[in-house]
A and B are shown apart, each in its own frame.
Chain A
């Protein structure tokens, strides 16, 4: 079973920031938080990952709480092309990713 809990769906206005929450209260000390997204009928796309520090790359920012029990993925300026299913995954160094149901983000004009 997935070790994360995400809302099933969210809406966001185009041009606004999209903030996607994820709970992972049973995360272990050596486990990372990964975010992937899947646009309809395509393979999942890696977005970002982190251990305990906040991370930022060209796609998104990842904010992890100090107790590491939850995190938020931030897409700073959502576009229609960001409409997708977003998966939050907790994983160690084995490379075994366990996907849950994810959050379906709908970006609206």
Chain B
């Protein structure tokens, strides 16, 4: 079992650009959640996808959007990048909405 995988590992973008991050959940998991972790802080919940729909959302602007595909994989899109979007983006999957979550290694996004 490969566990939760994320791509790419690292990414450098310029202010104003758009970025797409990808996540494949652990085998058998159908729920995917995304988190943003700034340096020195705990992860912050962005949103959760289940049955290809956004089910929960944290306090993030509409520039952050997502998608879940029929195979349960997911994408996180961020538009109009700001310097403050520089962070580690974590994907987590779970068997169902409320069960324990298993995290991927994250994507390190740097906005210059």
Quote the shortest CB–CB distance from A8 to chain B (angstroms): 12
The stretch of B40-48, B61-69, B74-82 that contacts the partner chain: B40-48
| Number of chain B interface residues as a range | 20 to 34
A residues contacting the other copy or chain, number (CB 8 A): 22
A81 at the interface (CB under 8 A from B): no
- Docked CA distance A39–B10 (Å): 18
Given that A96-B45, A101-B42 are known contacts, is A44 also in contact with B90, CB under 8 Å in the complex? yes
Closest B-chain residue to A30, C-beta based?
A: B98
Most buried by A among B44, B56, B101: B101
Given that A95-B56, A96-B58 are known contacts, is A43 also in contact with B98, CB under 8 Å in the complex? no
Given that A43-B4, A44-B90 are known contacts, is A94 also in contact with B98, CB under 8 Å in the complex? yes
- Docked CA distance A34–B92 (Å): 15
Residues of B within 8 A of A99 (CB): 35, 42-44
> Number of residue pairs across A and B with beta carbons under 8 Å?
62
B25 at the interface (CB under 8 A from A): no
A95 touching B103, Cβ below 8 Å = no
Residues of B within 8 A of A91 (CB): 98
B24 at the interface (CB under 8 A from A): no
Residues of B within 8 A of A34 (CB): 100
Residues of B within 8 A of A94 (CB): 48, 55-56, 97-98
Closest A-chain residue to B4, C-beta based?
A: A43
From A43, A93, A100, A101, contact of B104 by CB (8 A): A43
Residues of B within 8 A of A102 (CB): 42
A98 touching B45, Cβ below 8 Å = yes
B-facing mask of A24-54, CB < 8 A → 1, else 0?
0000000000101000001111100100000
A10 at the interface (CB under 8 A from B): no
- Partner-A contacts on B (CB < 8 A): 4, 31, 33, 35, 41-45, 48, 55-56, 58, 90, 92, 94, 97-106
Task: Show 11 residue pairs from A and B whose CB-CB distance is below 8 angstroms, ordered by the A residue.
Answer: A43-B90, A46-B100, A46-B103, A49-B100, A94-B48, A94-B55, A95-B101, A97-B33, A99-B42, A99-B43, A99-B44
